[in-house]
Structure 1
Amino acid sequence: MIKVLIIDDEKLARDVVKAYLKEHADLQVTGECANGFEGVKYIHEHKPDLLFLDIQMPKLTGFELLELLEDPPAIIFSTAYDEFAIRAFEKNAADYLLKPYSQIRFNEALKKARLKIGSDNNELSPVNGLVESHRETTDQLDRIVIRTGSKIVILGVDQIEYFEAQDDYVAIYSEGKKYLKQVRMKYLESSLPTHRFVRVHRSYIIAVEQIDKIEAYTKDSYLAMLKDGKKIPVSRSGYQVLKEVLKF
């Protein structure tokens, strides 16, 4: 028996999936969630085999949920018309249903999902590709979603003091706390509001409003003194960018 989880904020959409699944006796809906927060918790605790995931949801979008999955099940995505989402799906060979969809189209997607469930292929790679493709089409970050243990934290960019590269992760510092997220500094540099954040060093991006003062450190480097007393290294090129942003 294949265990199915449905995540969609619309009850009607969840009911459609359940109705279409009645043709398939070997699939059992073991859970349904109305938002991404519930979905992440359910996946972590119950390990479903197949996930029907809506992309456009309030609170936590389908793409944000994907960022939080360490060992994702087979996934069939659903969306109302969204050219960026569809482009990401097709680029990464992901199965998706464009709402509204028919029983025939549903069965086609389900056939592909069965093959993935029955194979040894790891679903993580296409999921990572989807996340990266979506990031490429995002105009500007206004928040960052982080999973810490069993909790999900959503940080508005106005809450973040600075970012620090740490191997394959980035440490995010906010209100006296440190969070880790697997994301590239290059992506953050290009996606954060440029008038609020500056990459001052290959390992640091700081919120300019957190800067108290800047001091010379060596001939070609500086230190940014933050309001909480932390000292952040500033490269020569980073200093030039700060001069342009802060106009000094």
Structure 2
Amino acid sequence: MKVLIVDDERLARAELRRLLAAHPHVLIAGEASSAAEAAVQLAALQPDLLLLDVQMPGGSGFDLLAALDDAPEVIFTTAYDQYALQAFDANALDYLLKPIQPQRLASALERAAARLGAAVPPAALPRKLFIRDSERCWFVRLDDIAWFESEGNYSRVHFHGGQPLLARSLLQLEQRLDPQQFFRASRRHIVNLAHVRRVSHGEDGAVVLHLDGAAIEVSRRRAATLKNIGAI
């Protein structure tokens, strides 16, 4: 399991390295002292897990995650407990208060290994999104997202438990998503085909995809593509 340590304090990074030395299945891929440096390291190293400080100069841990196309698993490490609720709203693996206790770290690493072992993502495609909308945050598995809806340069993400805005356009999302799973139904919608409950045809011949809570009409130009991928 490849880990990237992100903390602006050198001594805190050294302490995490010391604690992680007791876990032979953990490979420390690198470390970063800021959100900007971490973004570069993430792109280069592709770690499985972030040990991420929350409050750092130049950008918080939440700011870093919100800027990523594909968020890895995260264990927050911080001296401030006021961020705990926000971290768990984001579905973080754990939230460890400094000074970090070895047993708490061991339990968090076990959960990380279990979650990563269950995930078999397609190569080079994102596994989940980190979404920050106002003061709330979510980690959302792509499989759990039913559809995306365009709102200008943003996209409304529809999944069980929330409909937050994501700071990505539909075009940006389309370029990163698996086209066999996520279908660009129209100028305004991308649909997760796994969430389509049935397909109907309107009186004018339009194709309509029915999901839980929505009926999305496929544009005429896209209907032929839908047939080609075997969805109808």
Shift of 1:24: 0.8
SS class of match (1:86): helix
Letter in 1 for 2:168: Q
The 1:23/1:67 distance shift into structure 2, 3 A limit, reads: same
2:143 aligned residue? none
Structure of greater Rg: 1
2:167 matches 1:166: no
| 2:87 pairs with one of 89, 92, 96 | 89
1:191 aligned residue? none
Shift of 1:13: 0.9
Summarize the alignment of residues 70-81 of structure 1 with structure 2, pairs less than 5 Å apart. 70-81=69-80
2:139 aligned residue? none
Shift of 1:61: 1.1
> Whole-Å Cα distance in 2 between the matches of residues 121 and 63 of structure 1?
25
SS class of match (2:135): helix
1:182 aligned residue? 168
1:115 aligned residue? 114
Letter in 2 for 1:60: G
Q: Where has structure 1 moved over 4 Å in runs of 4 or more?
A: none
Identity %: 37
Summarize the alignment of residues 23-172 of structure 1 with structure 2, pairs less than 5 Å apart. 23-83=22-82, 85-94=83-92, 95-120=94-119, 124-125=128-129, 127-128=130-131, 131-132=132-133, 135-136=134-135, 165-166=152-153, 168=155
> Whole-Å Cα distance in 1 between the matches of residues 120 and 57 of structure 2?
31
1:189 aligned residue? none
Q: Is the 8 A contact 2:3 2:29 kept in 1?
A: yes
Which runs of 5 or more structure 2 residues have no equivalent in the other structure? 122-126, 137-150, 157-165, 170-232
SS class of match (1:168): strand
Shift of 1:31: 0.5
Shift of 1:4: 1.2
Which runs of 5 or more structure 1 residues have no equivalent in the other structure? 138-163, 170-179, 184-248
TM-score, with structure 2 as normaliser = 0.55
Q: How many residues align?
A: 141
> Whole-Å Cα distance in 2 between the matches of residues 54 and 121 of structure 1?
27
CA RMSD, Structure 1 to Structure 2 (Å)? 2.6
The 1:101/1:70 distance shift into structure 2, 3 A limit, reads: same
> Whole-Å Cα distance in 1 between the matches of residues 70 and 155 of structure 2?
18
Shift of 1:121: 7.5
2:14 matches 1:10: no
> Whole-Å Cα distance in 1 between the matches of residues 80 and 64 of structure 2?
19
Shift of 1:90: 2.7
